A and B are shown apart, each in its own frame.
Chain A
Amino acid sequence: MGGNNSDTMSLNLKVWRQKNNKDKGSMIDYKLDGVSPDMSFLEMMDTLNNKLIKEQGDSIAFDHDCREGICGMCSMMINGQAHGPEAETTTCQLHMRKFKDGDTIVVEPWRAKAFPVLKDLMVDRGAFDNIMAAGGFVNVNTGNPQDANSILIGQENAELAMDAAACIGCGACVASCKNASAMLFVSAKISQLALLPQGEVESLARTQAMVAKMDELGFGNCTNEAECEAQCPKGIKIENIARMNREWFKGALTSRK
């Protein structure tokens, strides 16, 4: 058996297996040798899957796509942390050099009422699209708007808007929150648009609509634990939640509806 030389590692994996949404699911143990420290976490999972298939087993389903940390598709709870132990890093960018030979690694799906498990580590995050469709946009049609430079935006606000816009919609904030709150995700979009003159016009109505949809879809409330910020792979700040709350209060007080 390999794994004891300095180049590769042997790992004990405990992976959540669940056949479908109706299945109860359970943790299953796997042993994997020959893991290179240069592998990404997902490449380690690929290696395990190819081994399982050749041993007549069923491969582990997990979401992934770009594998460069930007699409937001990958989503694993690794040893109880969303996207694993490295700060501001998605699972696909987490490399095995962050683990040691002989480590036991627990891999679970995002767990939240609003994100039902589809299979194994794969969950349904369609609720995020529904929140976006409730108001996460500027009401402008394709056509001939004014010249881009006729809207001046100070660098500070432009940077703050970009900080918020960097959200990849992966759902780590929901998965790491004990209330399964989506407030970091929702507030990032609300902040981005509220900070820019193009989006500010509709900000109050947008905030009311998106927050109402978020509540309706079964996400919990914020109790200021800030775990979402700590585990966000893109460093989205909870100051966005404060901004969302301000926009929400302003809207609640001034709405004529």
Chain B
Amino acid sequence: MTTKKLDGKVPSGPIQDRWKTHKFNMKIVNAANKRKYSVIVVGTGLAGASAAASLAELGYNVTTFCIQDSPRRAHSIAAQGGINAAKNYPNDGDSVYRLFYDTVKGGDYRARESNVYRLAEVSNSIIDQCVAQGVPFAREYGGTLSNRSFGGAQVSRTFYARGQTGQQLLLGAYSAMMKEVHNGKIKSFTRREIVELVMVEGKARGVIVRNVVTGEFEKYVADAVILATGGYGNVYYLSTNAKASNASAAFRAYKKGAYFANPCFTQIHPTCIPVSGDHQSKLTLMSESLRNDGRVWVPKMKGDKRAPTAIPEEERDYYLERIYPSFGNLVPRDVASRNAKIVCDEGRGVSATGMAVYLDFAAAIKRDGADKIKAKYGNLFDMYQRITDQDPYKTPMMIYPAIHYTMGGLWVDYNLMSNIPGLFVLGEANFSDHGANRLGASALMQGLADGYFVIPYTIGHYFATEKFEKIDTNHAEFERAISNSKALYKKLLSINGTKTVDDYHRALGHIMWEQVGMGRNEAGLKKAISDIQALRTDFWKNLKVSGGAEEVNTELEKAGRVADFLELGELMALDALERRESCGGHFREESQTEENEAKRDDENFCHVAAWEYSGVDIKPLRHTEELNFENVKLTQRSYK
């Protein structure tokens, strides 16, 4: 087999007109015929819930699955800061073009221009839609919507609902979903995990799911399958993801032939609460919006153990303001994270571990008063105090970077369809819009753009241009998939070794964070690959899963996910190894400017890498899709 050049099927013409023209050119399923088509939606976060609701409203028959006990609990709910849109309400010079430009640049020129432009174009409709649903965004005294600014942008374009924007947007999408449950157009199944994608004659036609309450395997058939299953940050064990966030649905689709694009593009969020000990099960993010008012610093002197308030102004290094005077504390996430690592590696980190920097609100409290700061960030300050037992009104917060988001994901074309016909991938689960680094407040925008305003058009085109064989779940492919699924879980239970799933997951996370984290190099990546292979071999020999197959068994659920992470981690390291350039969150130490900034190699790597599965322990194929920048000129990013 040889590697291919992939076609993203991007429409031609001026960038401003591409989506409009494409919408007109796509075929439509007439209103009365929509009820003849069925769609499976996996995952009910912003992308999945908005897609499910919008498709059901159009008349399609939708079935949704989520791992939690209610669609309302998907991890989109934890997004704090906000959602971007190019409304230009503050009159500060924003436009669709500027949002597009900032997103392409922020992503370090590794996203498709056409997709990003479409994202910026529909951003305003998202805000209108959410307000119409009753999402309680923050308001000014006059009753109009309020905005704030975020990293990587010089305008205020972020809409927010206190520090709970993700929650409110998700509850809006969930309500819309519940409306369609009421109308009989959505069947919602909870506490289900996807075990296998079912393909018939090359098309995605269904899924095998495991009911995690009874342990039973169930078969569902449809005319198209949408994966909106989020990212794979939990490969690192410690991340800001929820505990159940997993890559299994996407990864098992990869094993059925869907390409996995840019798996090494992961985002490390600069403002998380530092690790406190080995018992740590997850990391908690402090919204990036805090960088609007908080100032990041470390002592100038190495190993300075004085209390932060005892360190005089002139002995502090506000390093982001010093190095990046025009963006200051609001540089993009990858830049802020890398600089935190640099100062800590220099021995200037704070806290007992030396792996933290200060985020100081003293100046903002002095300027605006504690009340105003409380109104903006009160819930975040409370959360910080609950976790760390320290009062950020009195002493600076301590923060450190943590894995937060994955820009890579299943490869999709402009219609958000993977290379498997009928398999669509939305939200964080796809790779399309954020390039090598996502800007703050853009994940919510992309999830809802895909679900509310893209998939309702593109899925219709797929239905209108394809012929569908009538099949049911008695088809041989379903039988084959279900016996594969049963075998996998039986195998996991039968190993009966000595180490728990968490033991393996922690070990994998350690390898990933050390070698495939903020700084990556050839020797480390090669070591990661061999270490992961050894760990995987050990997993299948020494794993201990308690409990049985036909009952609630959370250990068994976790075992299935970690089995996938043990393969995906290797793929991420391989992708990082072969991308011999730095870009955005992917920092190859061999490729940096004299000022330690990420140095791209546009001549050799201005492309998407999309991996095709070739079998366990066989090197996958690396296909590429060329990226063309016709509107935003390729330049070295600079936030100085």
Chain A residues at the B interface, C-beta cutoff of 8 Å: 19-20, 36, 38-40, 42-44, 46-47, 50, 52-54, 56-59, 61, 63-73, 86, 88-89, 93, 95, 97, 118-120, 122, 124-126, 128-129, 132-149, 151-155, 158, 161-162, 165-166, 168-169, 192-193, 196, 198-199
Contacts and interface: CB of A to CB of B under 8 A. Distances in A.
A95 B387 contact: yes
A93 B544 contact: no
A27 to B, nearest CB: 19
A196 B284 contact: no
Interface string B135-173: 011111111110000000000000001101011100100
Given A66-B78, A71-B242, A73-B73, A54 B498 contact: yes
Contact of B213 (A69, A118, A136): A118
A42 B386 contact: no
B281 A67 contact: yes
B402 to A, nearest CB: 12
A153 B139 contact: yes
B551 interface: yes
B279 A136 contact: no
Contacts of A134: 182
A126 B452 contact: no
A169 B383 contact: no
Contacts, number: 223
Interface of B: 50, 53-54, 57, 68-73, 75, 77-78, 87, 89, 125, 127-134, 136-145, 161-162, 164, 166-168, 171, 174-176, 178-179, 181-182, 188, 190, 213, 240, 242-244, 276-277, 279-282, 284-285, 382-383, 386-387, 389, 452-453, 456, 498, 500, 502-503, 544-547, 551-555
A19 B389 contact: no
B551 A19 contact: yes
10 contacts: A20-B551, A39-B279, A50-B503, A73-B73, A93-B383, A129-B181, A137-B182, A153-B139, A162-B138, A199-B134
A65 B70 contact: no
B406 to A, nearest CB: 17
A146 B213 contact: no
A140 B68 CA distance: 26
A58 B546 CA distance: 6
Contact of B143 (A152, A162, A199): A152
B128 A95 contact: no
Contacts of B178: 129, 132-133, 136-137
Given A40-B281, A69-B383, 9 more contacts: A52-B546, A66-B242, A68-B284, A132-B175, A132-B178, A142-B129, A142-B176, A152-B143, A155-B143
Contact of A137 (B78, B175, B279): B175
Nearest to A90: B386
Contacts of B127: 148
Given A59-B547, A66-B75, A125-B69, A162 B277 contact: no
B132 A198 contact: yes
Given A50-B500, A70-B164, A148 B70 contact: no
Contacts of A125: 69-70
Contacts of A141: 54, 57
Given A72-B73, A192-B134, A198-B134, A36 B498 contact: no
A173 B552 CA distance: 25
A73 B68 CA distance: 8
Contacts of A193: 134
A21 B279 CA distance: 31
Contact of B555 (A59, A124, A153, A169): A59
Contact of A138 (B133, B138, B143, B284): B133
Contacts of A40: 281, 387
B412 to A, nearest CB: 20
A135 to B, nearest CB: 8
The secondary structure that dominates the A interface is loop
Contacts of A148: 87, 127-128, 130-131, 137, 145
A169 B190 CA distance: 15
A20 B553 CA distance: 11
B134 A133 contact: no
Given A53-B544, A148-B128, A152-B142, A118 B281 contact: no
Contacts of B129: 142-143, 145
Contacts of A144: 125, 128
Contacts of B141: 155
Nearest to B551: A20
Contacts of A147: 128
Given A61-B552, A71-B75, A155-B140, A54 B544 contact: yes
Across chains A and B, which 4 residue pairs bring their CB atoms closest together, nearest first? A152-B143, A137-B175, A145-B132, A119-B552
A53 B167 CA distance: 35
Contacts of B125: 144
A147 B131 CA distance: 9
Nearest to A168: B167
Which interface residue of B130, B143, B162, B553 has the most chain A CB atoms within 10 A? B143
Contacts of A162: 136, 138, 161-162, 168
Nearest to A166: B164
Given A63-B69, A141-B57, A142-B54, A43 B279 contact: yes
Contact of A89 (B72, B132, B386): B386
A68 B78 contact: yes
A135 B178 CA distance: 8
A204 to B, nearest CB: 16
A61 B139 contact: no
A65 B244 contact: yes
Nearest to B70: A129
B72 to A, nearest CB: 6
